[in-house]
Homo-oligomer: A and B are copies of this chain.
């Protein structure tokens, strides 16, 4: 999946813009390895020695790049959300049709969850509590931006009579439902990502 990330055409642009750390730099490789391990074993069970071993350095060297273990989690999380934000904006750019925007958002979030934009997005919820309060606030700013963008599109859909549920509820339901796909849906399984998007829209009774 890391490989996939590097091959995405927009990555160099995002690196240049400072959205994310260069995945080929030492720090970038550290982040990718950490994200992957945090996802596999959880933050608490992942030791800095594990991370170092994954990258091929010694544990002490990690602290050249990050002041402590928690700051790695913080970096993984804020890069994940920054990347998701950037890709989300690009995905709906210029689109007027609300249904298409809705589908784009769903697809974008699923891509974020399933690693098209690098691991890390799922950690936002599963490892949230391991972030210090200060760090939580920092990430919360980005999350709020992301969430309100979603809610606004849902509100448009509601205004056009395309859905009946309140945007506030719908966003919470969808976030949960999509995050959960991280636990059961596999890209290389029986269903494609597009079929998954389709089932989500079907559930919400959204017209094509």
Binding site for B on A (CB under 8 A): 41-42, 44-45, 125-126, 129-130, 163-166, 169-170, 172-181, 183-185, 196, 199-200, 202-205
Contacts and interface: CB of A to CB of B under 8 A. Distances in A.
Nearest to A172: B184
A125 B183 contact: yes
A198 to B, nearest CB: 9
A204 B173 CA distance: 11
Contacts of A205: 164, 204-205
Contacts of A177: 172-174, 176-177, 180
Dominant SS at the A interface? helix
A125 B179 CA distance: 12
| Copies assembled | 4
19 contacts: A42-B129, A42-B130, A125-B183, A163-B203, A164-B202, A165-B199, A170-B203, A172-B177, A172-B180, A172-B181, A172-B185, A173-B177, A173-B180, A173-B203, A174-B177, A176-B177, A176-B179, A203-B203, A205-B205
Nearest to A203: B165
* Most B C-beta atoms less than 10 A away, residue of A164, A166, A173: A173
A8 to B, nearest CB: 26
B169 A199 contact: yes
A80 to B, nearest CB: 18
A187 to B, nearest CB: 15
Contacts of A170: 203
A135 to B, nearest CB: 15
Given A45-B129, A176-B179, 7 more contacts: A42-B129, A163-B203, A172-B181, A172-B184, A173-B203, A174-B177, A176-B180
A45 to B, nearest CB: 6
A180 B172 CA distance: 7
